[in-house]
Amino acid sequence: MFEGFASTRVELGEASAFVRYGGEGPPVVLLHGHPRTSATWHRVAPLLVRAGHTVVCPDLRGYGRSRGPRFTADHAGYSKRAVAGDVVAVMRHLGHRRFALVGHDRGGSVALRLALDHPGAVSRVAFADALPLTEHLTRVDVDFATRWWHWFFFAQPDIPERVITADPDSWYHGDPALMGAENHAEWRQATRDPDVVRAMLEDYRAGLTVDRRHEEADRAAGTRLTCPTLVLWSLRDDLEDLYGDPRAIWREWSDDVCGHGIDSGHHVAEEAPEALAETLIEFFRPT
């Protein structure tokens, strides 16, 4: 995986980030979702490098080989604001003060927070299978709660940790043939680490508390994305089934929205890397 890429660990005070990076040219940051690591991008990142980009793939705070602070009752150490700050600090460490940004799944929530909190750092932002957290929460109905029940299970204290770590291979399901053997092995190692499992749960606990409040404050203040916004969704996932056209929802957050569905299941970077990379390359092309 990631032939020609370097990797490093960036110390960030209360946290540290494991980062893969490679290529030359305009920088692009790829943010993974739950329960993946930066290795999920192993098929997409080389295609972006080939197209003339510097590509940076961090493990999100607490995921994979990145580490976060101690866990607290307010979950603030794992808020999207804290994780977005990690990404900005990593990019400055690597010499980049402005960059394009891609967020998949939970990485999309981080990408939104980063683009809202640090608008001068983000030239363009792409969201894949992602909506603002509050847009999900204000639409909760029986269908959502049945399909996405894990959001509310993960928010419970103590119980999810005990259930998941008792048999992580039964809880998390991954196919090495679909994911790629090395990606699968890295993912499996991470999901068998109790500290990683707890950090991933803190991500969801923050989502229902501190992150929700941050997004509500943005809406009340009229804060919007100021950069071009690409919205992508997997046609064999359930985002469009639940909400209709995701672009319509994102237009409540950005004045410049484009995008389309991709023929893929949820883990689009693994299942449809060429289609995803082609769309991203076109979106990032200077106009």
Q: Which residues have a catalytic role annotated?
A: 105, 266
Q: Are 72 and 202 in contact (CB under 8 A)?
A: no
Interatomic CA distance for residues 112 and 104, integer angstroms? 11
Interatomic CA distance for residues 32 and 49, integer angstroms? 18
Q: Which amino acid is at 160?
A: P
* CA distances from residue 128 to 100, 114, 193, 209 in whole angstroms, order as listed: 14, 15, 27, 23
Interatomic CA distance for residues 219 and 253, integer angstroms? 8
Phi-psi region of 277 (alpha: psi -120 to 50; beta: other; left: phi over 0): alpha
Q: Are 27 and 56 in contact (CB under 8 A)?
A: yes
Please, where are the H alpha helices in the chain?
Answer: 45-50, 80-93, 106-117, 133-137, 142-147, 150-154, 159-166, 168-171, 176-179, 181-191, 194-208, 210-221, 239-243, 246-250, 268-271, 273-284
* CA distances from residue 185 to 36, 37, 177, 224 in whole angstroms, order as listed: 11, 11, 11, 39
